[in-house]
């Protein structure tokens, strides 16, 4: 059974940094691209970032480009999101999602975690 468990969410002040983690199990992690998708309170889904299976293709939403960094450790079956210079508008539930394939273009998310909440507020 595919399981994605996010962690690292917290209440944090604007301008600070936070690192989210996603522990994956139930599939061969190194064979699939992975994504972070967020959902602000009462709002829709927003794709944040994606990383291919070998980390050779990485993409970011314009809203986080230059502030967030996605990475993965295939040996640890883990996905990460380093979030710097956090803003109040980054407040959201952050989902880790498994891609259906190994690259980012044209693919979809076939499994999702339950999310970890990031609240940016002074």
Partner 1 sequence: QSVLTQPPSVSGAPGQRVTISCTGSSSNIGAGYDVHWYHQLPGTAPKLLIYGNSNRPSGVPDRFSGSKSGTSASLAITGLQAEDEADYYCQSYDSSLSGSVFGGGTKLTVL
Contact residues toward partner 1 (CB under 8 A) are 35, 37, 44-47, 49-50, 59-62, 95, 100, 104-115
- Write down the least CB distance from residue 119 to partner 1, Å: 17
Nearer to partner 1, 29 or 49 (CB): 49
- Write down the least CB distance from residue 39 to partner 1, Å: 8
* DSSP single-letter state for residue 26: S
- Write down the least CB distance from residue 69 to partner 1, Å: 15
Q: Is 78 exposed, middle or buried (0-12, 13-18, 19+ CB in 10 A)?
A: middle
Q: Strand, helix or coil at 32?
A: coil
Give yes or no for a contact between 64 and 49, defined as CB atoms under 8 angstroms apart: yes
Nearer to partner 1, 29 or 60 (CB): 60
Nearer to partner 1, 90 or 113 (CB): 113
d(CA 109, CA 66): 24
């Amino acid at each position: 059974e595919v399981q994605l468990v996010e962690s690292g969410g917290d209440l944090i002040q604007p301008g600070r940094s936070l690192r989210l983690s996603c522990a994956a199990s139930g599939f061969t992690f190194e064979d699939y691209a992975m994504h972070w998708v967020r959902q602000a309170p009462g709002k829709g889904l927003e794709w944040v970032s994606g990383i291919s299976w070998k980390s050779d293709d990485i993409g970011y939403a314009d809203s986080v480009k230059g502030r967030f960094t996605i990475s993965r450790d295939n040996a640890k079956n883990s996905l990460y999101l380093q979030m710097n210079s956090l803003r109040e508008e980054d407040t959201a539930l952050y989902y880790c999602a498994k891609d259906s394939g190994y690259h980012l273009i044209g693919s979809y998310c076939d499994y999702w975690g339950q999310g970890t909440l990031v609240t940016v507020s002074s």
